[in-house]
Structure 1
Amino acid sequence: MGTWGAHPFASDGAQDLIDFLAKRSDAERRAALHEIFEAAPHAGQEHVDVFPEDVVAAALLIALSVPGSSQRLREHDAQEARNSLVADLDTALAAEALGALETVRVPGNDWYDTWIEDDEDGEAAQVAQAIVDILDDFTGAGSSEPTTREPRGMSR
């Protein structure tokens, strides 16, 4: 898998996800995203076909599916993903995305350690926080600070 930047869509895996979802019905998109979020606590582990980068890209797709969110994120992302978004997003799937993102947005997770640990004000951290803020607002969750707990299945 090639990664060329800190942005959630800056990888081959993210582009493959966008392309895959664009060819699916809305119900199929929801199911595929649900599977990614369900696998998030084990992302990157052996025999799990989901990586932390997939979780972040999927969470961005959900955030972009929130009405009005493109004004809080890069307009380019909204255009790039327009055919892969979820129509009439419900709070349950948004909450799944938020929870899944939080499992990879912690120290000790490969995605965090690669993109945020040494650059807490960088692009990855800013986009992740924007996703959390959008999903918090949409779901009413109100938890926009990164957690410090260890993700399940991860040890330092």
Structure 2
Amino acid sequence: MGARAVLDACKARGVMLATAESCTGGMVAAALTEIAGSSAVVERGFVTYSNAAKMEMLGVRAATLEAHGAVSEPVAREMADGALARSRAQIAVSITGIAGPGGSDHKPEGRVCFGLARESTPTRVETVEFGALGRDKVRQAACAHALALLLSAAQA
């Protein structure tokens, strides 16, 4: 239901979306574009796995990465804002996190930061602690959460 509901809600409101993904590696864009007719809604997706890609493709500032690290709400905010600014979309979601295995005491496995940018609306950010579920499950959970954020934005 998730991806189809997002597409239906965006189509009903005449809005397009963009994704900016790090730890999910394009899973959100793939879930959306798996559905026929998604080109009416999905404007583009950015897979920015490295810090260099985040800076070059989305305009994330080096100072933000240095001060907070890639897995942080400030970086998620700049990723979402950058995706919105560098596309023709009206809604953009960003995902950056630690899918595992591994992590640290400061940034544990399963921590994922999300950004949600919309035209003429302050960008929202949040962190979800999915826990050490294993790489695949963290990525799946992050994808599902990003789709839920997009749905909420499309219905607002």
Q: Is the pair's TM-score, using the shorter chain for normalization, greater than 0.5?
A: no
TM-score with structure 2 setting the length: 0.29
TM-score with structure 1 setting the length: 0.29
Relative to total residues, which structure has the larger helix share, 1 or 2? 1
Relative to total residues, which structure has the larger strand share, 1 or 2? 2
